[in-house]
Structure 1
Amino acid sequence: MGWLRKKKKKKPKSDVVSESGAQLLEDLIECCDGKSNPIKFFSANEIRKATNNFSYSNFVHELAYYYVWYSGKNENHPMILIKKSGELGEDLLCRDIAVSSMVSGHKNFLKLVGCCLESEDPAMVYNGVKKHYQLEISEQPWKRRMKIAEDIATALAYLHTAFPRPFVYRSLSLRKILLDEDGVAKLNDFSYCVSIPEGETFVKVDEKAHGFYSYLDDNYKSGGVVSEKTDVFAFGMFMGLTLLLGNRSIEEEEEESQGGGSNTDYDFDSMRKRLAQNVMSKLKEDRRMEEIADPKMIEKMGQISEQELCQMEAFRILSLRCIGPREEVPTMVEVAKELKKIQTSLYNDSSSP
Structure 2
Amino acid sequence: MSPQNLFDEGIPPNSTAVAIDKDKNSPHAVRWAIDHLVISNPLIILIYVRTKNNQYRSFAENSNSNDVESEADLQKLFTPFRGYCARKGVVMKEVVLDDNDIPKAILDYIGKNLVHNIVIGASTRNAFARKFKTYDVPASVMKSAPEFCSVYVISKGKIASVRTAQRPAANTATPPRQPSPGLPQLPSDLGEQEDALRGQAMKGGTKGGGTERMSLDKGSDPVRGIARDRHKNTPTNISLESYDYPVRGQRTSTSRDSISDEPDFSGSLAMGSMDMSSQSLDFSNASFSPPRGSSASSSREIEAEMRRLKLELKQTMDMYSSACKEALTAKKKANELHQWKMEEAHRFEDARLAEEAALAVAEMEKAKCKAAIEAAEASQKIAEMEAMRRKQAEMKARKEAEEKNRALNALANNDNRYRKYSIEEIEEATEKFSDKMKIGEGGYGPVYKGKLDHTPVAIKVLRPDAAQGKKQFLQEVEVLSCIRHPNMVLLLGACPEYGCLVYEYMENGSLEDRLFRRGNSPPISWRKRFQIAAEIATALLFLHQAKPEPLVHRDLKPANILIDRNFVSKISDVGLARLVPPSVADSVTQYHMTSAAGTFCYIDPEYQQSGMLTTKSDIYSFGIMLLQIITAKPPMGIAHHVGRAVEKGTFEEMLDPAVPDWPVEEAINFAKLAIKCAELRKRDRPDLGTEIVPELNRLRDLGRSPESYGTDGYYTSSNNSGQSRNMVPRSPPMSSS
Structural RMSD (CA): 2.6
Residues 188-246 of structure 1 deviation map (CA, whole Å, 9 limit, x = unaligned): 11111011124444311112x22233222232011111111001111011112x11221
Which of residues 629, 640, 643 is equivalent to 1:243?
A: 629
Structure 2 Cα separation of the partners of residues 288 and 70 of structure 1: 43
User: Given the alignment of the two structures, is residue 321 of structure 1 paired with residue 676 of structure 2, yes or no?
Assistant: yes
Shift in Å at residue 292 of structure 1? 1.7
Counterpart code for 1:134? S
Match of 1:338 in 2: 695
Shift in Å at residue 345 of structure 1? 3.9
Shift in Å at residue 176 of structure 1? 1.0
Structure 1 Cα separation of the partners of residues 631 and 701 of structure 2: 22
Which of residues 292, 310, 322 is equivalent to 2:665?
A: 310
The TM-score normalised by the length of structure 1 is: 0.73
Shift in Å at residue 330 of structure 1? 2.5
SS of the residue aligned with 1:53? coil
Match of 1:265 in 2: none
Which of residues 221, 228, 245 is equivalent to 2:608?
A: 221
Structure 2 Cα separation of the partners of residues 27 and 281 of structure 1: 49
Which of residues 542, 553, 570 is equivalent to 1:158?
A: 542
Match of 1:72 in 2: 450
Residues 61-92 of structure 1 deviation map (CA, whole Å, 9 limit, x = unaligned): 22x32232222223x34222211122352111
User: Given the alignment of the two structures, is residue 294 of structure 1 paired with residue 672 of structure 2, yes or no?
Assistant: no
User: Given the alignment of the two structures, is residue 144 of structure 1 paired with residue 524 of structure 2, yes or no?
Assistant: no
Deviates most, 218-227 or 50-59:
50-59
Flag the structure with more relative contact order, 1 or 2, with Cα contacts below 8 A and sequence separation at least 6.
1
Match of 2:63 in 1: none
Instruction: Flag the 1:290–1:220 CA change in 2: closer, same or farther, 3 A.
Output: same
Instruction: Flag the 1:45–1:92 CA change in 2: closer, same or farther, 3 A.
Output: same
Residues 268-320 of structure 1 deviation map (CA, whole Å, 9 limit, x = unaligned): xxxxxxx43xx33211112233212223x3xx41xx36xx1122111111112
Structure 2 Cα separation of the partners of residues 143 and 311 of structure 1: 11
Structure 1 Cα separation of the partners of residues 444 and 551 of structure 2: 22
SS of the residue aligned with 1:327? helix
Instruction: Flag the 1:80–1:23 CA change in 2: closer, same or farther, 3 A.
Output: farther
Judge conservation of contact 1:166–1:196 (CA < 8 Å) in 2: yes
Counterpart code for 2:502? V
User: Given the alignment of the two structures, is residue 82 of structure 1 paired with residue 437 of structure 2, yes or no?
Assistant: no
Structure 1 Cα separation of the partners of residues 571 and 410 of structure 2: 20
Q: Which runs of 5+ in 1 are unaligned?
A: 1-21, 30-35, 251-274
Judge conservation of contact 2:489–2:572 (CA < 8 Å) in 1: yes
Shift in Å at residue 46 of structure 1? 1.7
Match of 1:259 in 2: none
Instruction: Flag the 1:318–1:180 CA change in 2: closer, same or farther, 3 A.
Output: same
Instruction: Flag the 1:319–1:116 CA change in 2: closer, same or farther, 3 A.
Output: same
The TM-score normalised by the length of structure 2 is: 0.36
Judge conservation of contact 1:95–1:193 (CA < 8 Å) in 2: yes
Match of 2:552 in 1: 168
Judge conservation of contact 2:491–2:503 (CA < 8 Å) in 1: yes
Alignment of 1:244-263 (within 5 A): 244-248=630-634, 250=635
Judge conservation of contact 1:311–1:343 (CA < 8 Å) in 2: no
- State the aligned residue count: 284
Judge conservation of contact 1:28–1:98 (CA < 8 Å) in 2: no
Alignment of 1:1-353 (within 5 A): 25-26=407-408, 38-62=417-441, 64-74=442-452, 76-86=453-463, 87=466, 88-103=468-483, 105-119=484-498, 122-128=499-505, 131-135=507-511, 136=513, 137-138=515-516, 139-201=523-585, 202-207=590-595, 209-240=596-627, 242-248=628-634, 250=635, 275-276=636-637, 279-285=638-644, 286=647, 287-295=649-657, 297=658, 300-301=659-660, 304=661, 308-324=663-679, 325-334=681-690, 335-345=692-702, 348-350=707-709, 351-353=732-734
Counterpart code for 2:569? A
Q: Which runs of 5+ in 2 are unaligned?
A: 1-403, 517-522, 710-731
Structure 2 Cα separation of the partners of residues 28 and 243 of structure 1: 41
